[in-house]
Amino acid sequence: MLNKELMDKAKRENISLFLDRFKSQQPQCPFGLSGACCKNCFAGPCRIIPGKEERGICGANQDVIAARNLLRAAVAGATCHSDHAREVVLTLLKIGEGKTSAYKIKDENKLRILAKKLKIKSSGSIKKIAKLVALEALEDFRRQEGLYHKKEGNYLNWLKITALPERIKVWKKLGILPINSDLETSHALHQTTMGNDADPNNLLLSVLRMGLVDGYSGLHLATDIQDIIFGTPSLVKSKTDLGTLKEDHVNIVVHGHVPILSQKIVEWSRKLNNEAKKVGAKGINVVGMCCSGIEVLMRLGIPMAGHVLQQELAIVTGVADAVVVDIQCIYPSLQDISSCYHTKLISTIDYVRFPKAEHISFTIEDANKSAKQIIKEALKAYKKRDKSKILIPKDKCEMYGGFSVETIIDALSKLNKNNPLKVLVDAIKKGDILGVVAIVGCRNPKVKDDFHEKLTEILIKNNILVVGTGCWAYAAAQTGLMTPEASKKAGLKLRSFLEKVGKANGLESLPPCLHMGSCVDNSRVGNLVNALANYMKIPIYKLPIVASAPEYMTEKAVAIAVWALSLGVTTHINPVPPVTSSKLVTKVLTRDLENMVGSKILLGNTPEESARVIIKTIKEKRNS
CB of 200 to ligand SF4, least distance (A): 13
How many binding residues for ligand BF8 (CB under 6 A)? 15
Closest to ligand SF4 by CB, 46 or 611: 46
Within residues 20-39, the interface with ligand SF4 by CB under 6 A covers: 38-39
Rounded Cα distance, 602 and 573, in Å: 6
Within residues 261-290, the interface with ligand BF8 by CB under 6 A covers: 290
CB of 431 to ligand BF8, least distance (A): 31
Q: Is 515 in the site for ligand BF8 (CB under 6 A)?
A: no
SS3 readout for 313-372: HHHHCCCEEEEEECCCCCCCCHHHHHHCCCCEEEECCCCCCCCCCEECCCCCCCHHHHHH
Q: Which residues contact 454 (CB under 8 A, 6 or more apart)?
A: 607, 608
* Residue 471 interacting partner from ligand SF4, ligand BF8, none (CB closer than 5 to 8 Å by kind): ligand BF8
CB of 56 to ligand SF4, least distance (A): 2
Closest to ligand SF4 by CB, 204 or 486: 204
What's the gap between Cα 374 and its chain centre? 26
CB atoms within 10 A of CB 504: 16
Interacting span for ligand BF8 (CB under 6 A) from 68-76, 236-244, 490-498, 553-561:
553-561
The closest of 38, 5, 431, 405 to 227, measured between CA atoms, is 405
Q: Is 557 in the site for ligand BF8 (CB under 6 A)?
A: yes
* Residue 583 interacting partner from ligand BF8, ligand SF4, none (CB closer than 5 to 8 Å by kind): none
CB of 206 to ligand SF4, least distance (A): 17
Interacting span for ligand BF8 (CB under 6 A) from 236-244, 264-272, 552-560, 607-615:
552-560
User: Cα torsion at 69, 73, 74, 80 (round to 10°)?
Assistant: 160
Interacting span for ligand BF8 (CB under 6 A) from 88-96, 194-202, 535-543, 551-559:
551-559
Closest to ligand BF8 by CB, 208 or 291: 291
Rounded Cα distance, 544 and 605, in Å: 22
Within residues 84-143, the interface with ligand SF4 by CB under 6 A covers: none
Widest Cα–Cα separation across the chain: 72
CB of 402 to ligand BF8, least distance (A): 17
* Residue 57 interacting partner from ligand BF8, ligand SF4, none (CB closer than 5 to 8 Å by kind): ligand SF4
Rounded Cα distance, 327 and 259, in Å: 10
Burial 163-196 (b: 16+ CB within 10 A, else e): bbebbbebbeeeebbbbbbbbbbebbbebbeeee
What's the gap between Cα 495 and its chain centre? 27
Within residues 311-350, the interface with ligand BF8 by CB under 6 A covers: 329
Closest to ligand SF4 by CB, 43 or 492: 43
What SS3 state is found at 168? helix
* Residue 423 interacting partner from ligand BF8, ligand SF4, none (CB closer than 5 to 8 Å by kind): none
* Residue 425 interacting partner from ligand BF8, ligand SF4, none (CB closer than 5 to 8 Å by kind): none
Closest to ligand SF4 by CB, 194 or 409: 194
Among 129, 284, 314, 471, indicate the residue that binds ligand BF8 (CB under 6 A): 471
Q: Which strands make up the sheet holding 284-289, listed edge to edge?
A: 358-359, 344-347, 320-325, 250-255, 284-289, 304-306, 236-240, 397-401
Beta partners for 252?
286, 322
Among 34, 40, 157, 554, indicate the residue that binds ligand SF4 (CB under 6 A): 40
Give the x/- contact pattern for ligand SF4 in 48-77, rule: CB under 6 A: --------xxx-x-----------------
Within residues 35-94, the interface with ligand BF8 by CB under 6 A covers: none
Among 401, 441, 468, 511, indicate the residue that binds ligand BF8 (CB under 6 A): 441
Rounded Cα distance, 535 and 530, in Å: 8
Closest to ligand SF4 by CB, 64 or 287: 64
Rounded Cα distance, 325 and 343, in Å: 13
Q: Which residues contact 348 (CB under 8 A, 6 or more apart)?
A: 261, 324, 325, 326, 359, 360, 361, 362, 370, 374
* Vertex 307 angle, CA 306 and 313, to 5°: 55
Among 66, 118, 375, 519, indicate the residue that binds ligand BF8 (CB under 6 A): 519
* Cβ 459 vs Cβ 611: under 8 Å: yes
The closest of 238, 210, 233, 213 to 223, measured between CA atoms, is 233
Closest to ligand SF4 by CB, 68 or 131: 68
The closest of 204, 201, 180, 167 to 72, measured between CA atoms, is 204
Gap between the terminal Cα atoms of the chain: 41
* Residue 231 interacting partner from ligand BF8, ligand SF4, none (CB closer than 5 to 8 Å by kind): none
Among 323, 438, 442, 466, indicate the residue that binds ligand BF8 (CB under 6 A): 442
* Residue 60 interacting partner from ligand BF8, ligand SF4, none (CB closer than 5 to 8 Å by kind): ligand SF4
CB of 606 to ligand SF4, least distance (A): 35
* Residue 557 interacting partner from ligand SF4, ligand BF8, none (CB closer than 5 to 8 Å by kind): ligand BF8
Q: Is the dihedral of CA 140, 534, 232, 249 positive or negative?
A: positive
Rounded Cα distance, 320 and 8, in Å: 18
* Residue 342 interacting partner from ligand BF8, ligand SF4, none (CB closer than 5 to 8 Å by kind): none
Rounded Cα distance, 62 and 42, in Å: 18
Give the x/- contact pattern for ligand BF8 in 239-258, rule: CB under 6 A: ------------------x-
Residues that bind ligand BF8 (CB under 6 A): 257, 290-291, 307-308, 329, 441-442, 470-471, 519, 553-554, 556-557
Residues that bind ligand SF4 (CB under 6 A): 38-41, 43-46, 56-58, 60, 194
